[in-house]
Homo-oligomer: A and B are copies of this chain.
Amino acid sequence: MSTSDTRWLSAGEQQAWREFLTACQTLFSAIDWQLQHDAAIPHGYYEILVRLSETPGRALRMSQLAEASTSSKSRLSHAVARLEERGWVRRADCPTDRRGQVAQLTDEGFAALAAAAPGHVGQVRRSLIDVLTPEQLGQLQEISSAIVAAADQPVGPSRPVSCG
């Protein structure tokens, strides 16, 4: 596309986009701040623990865990290494595929998650859920679905996560 036929944002579109940007920045920094200070867990790591905790056996293949937690393989690999150092996750060889690794949530990891969860949920309520009307929350969900659906389609590369 040449510069001249760029479809610039209208004033209203730009205002909406910037307000959304600001909202995300404030929201996620509040979420991160609470988790970091009350539980010493980065939000990304928290998500990994949550996904593991919800799986039967509390264990998942690395690649499945990466997809479930919207994470790249590399990021997950580093993160699981840190979680392993804390004793919250254990890695084991996959029995059916010798390339594979299985990440398993330990009892200590589950306990850490259980201890962190109430404070985190409280922050999510204060920063988002309780701030919106139920109708707005529904709207936000539909908007989010549309964004995700658009990202799954497109021509250009737009997601960090493999579709496998």
Contacts and interface: CB of A to CB of B under 8 A. Distances in A.
Contact of A33 (B27, B119, B160): B160
A145 B19 contact: yes
Interface residues of A, number: 64
Contacts of A9: 121, 124-125, 129
Prevailing SS type, chain A contact patch:
helix
Oligomer copy total: 2
A17 B128 contact: yes
A32 to B, nearest CB: 9
Contacts of A53: none
A96 interface: no
Interface stretch (A55-63, A102-110, A136-144): A136-144
A131 B146 contact: yes
Interface stretch (A76-84, A87-95, A147-155): A147-155
Interface of A: 1, 3, 6-9, 12-13, 15-17, 19-30, 33-34, 47, 70, 117-119, 121-129, 131-132, 136-151, 154, 156-161
